[in-house]
Structure 1
Amino acid sequence: MSEQTGTPVVRDVEARHRYEILVDDRRAGLTAYRDRDRQRVFFHTEIDDAHAGQGLASILVEQALTDVRASGRRLVPVCPYVAKFLKKHEEFADITDPVTPEVLTWLEAQLAR
């Protein structure tokens, strides 16, 4: 496991439908999404093995959800990590929509493109 020396930076890479977390200007992880009307549907989060155990996933998801709030969108936590994060961070409950079969069918079609 490598030590992070710089402050992690989170950025929205809209063209790739994901937020990335950078450490020392290198991508250390991401959380992927697709937009459905006014919802941002999060479906996958990963942190590179070299950065595991440093709390980066929590930083990444918290900043991504804060960005969702600022944009006026709502979020749908299909990703298990995002769902787990929301159980501990109720401050995002007011912008969280449930995962429904309709959302899952829509997401599957989006990802098949």
Structure 2
Amino acid sequence: MSRELADNSGAPVTVGIEHADPVSAYVVRLADGSAVGRADFVDPPDGPDERIFFHTEVDPEFGGRGLAGLLVRAALEDSIRDGLDVVPVCPLFARHLDRHGDEFVADGGRFRSPTRADIVLVGRITRGRP
């Protein structure tokens, strides 16, 4: 599912999810279709209904346009809709939930602090280990 949005300059962008195994991502694209940012996540195998966000980046030449915020908000909206608990290993997600966590929870979202096991899982998955 893609969302048609506008960045801080008013330029049209889309944010969509790209599922892959083992790492999926929310991707922000310009009107011409070029990908300029992503928020990577893993869904723990055989675990609870959680989504671990571990890395977000936007191409530096597109910084200041609010694209990272669009990625975070789209991901959190989907997490509410899909009934997933958010685990913010990524500092950007953690900072957003630190500032806006009460609003997220009031909207039906759930999140918890990452544990060492979450960080180990992300490391194993991103290195291709079982």
- What's the TM-score once normalised by structure 1's chain length? 0.88
Distance 1:13 1:105 in 2: 23
Confirm or deny that 1:29 pairs with 2:37: yes
- Structure 1 partner of 2:84: 73
Unpaired segments ≥5 residues, structure 2: 1-7
Deviation at 1:88, TM superposition (A): 2.1
Q: CA RMSD in A?
A: 1.8
CA distance in 2, matches of 1:48, 1:59: 14
Identity %: 30
SS in 1 for 2:12: coil
Q: Can you list the C-alpha shifts for 1:45-99, whole angstroms capped at 9, x where unaligned?
A: 0001121011110011101111111111111000011111112222224411111
| Richer in helix (by share) | 1
Name 1:96's counterpart in structure 2.
Answer: 111
> Is 2:64 aligned against 1:53?
yes
Mapped contact 1:4–1:23 kept (Cα < 8 A): no
Q: How many residue pairs end up in the alignment? A: 111
Residue of structure 2 in register with 1:64 after alignment: 75
Structure 1: where are the runs of 5+ without partners?
Answer: none
Q: TM-score, normalised by structure 2?
A: 0.78
The match for 1:17 is: 24
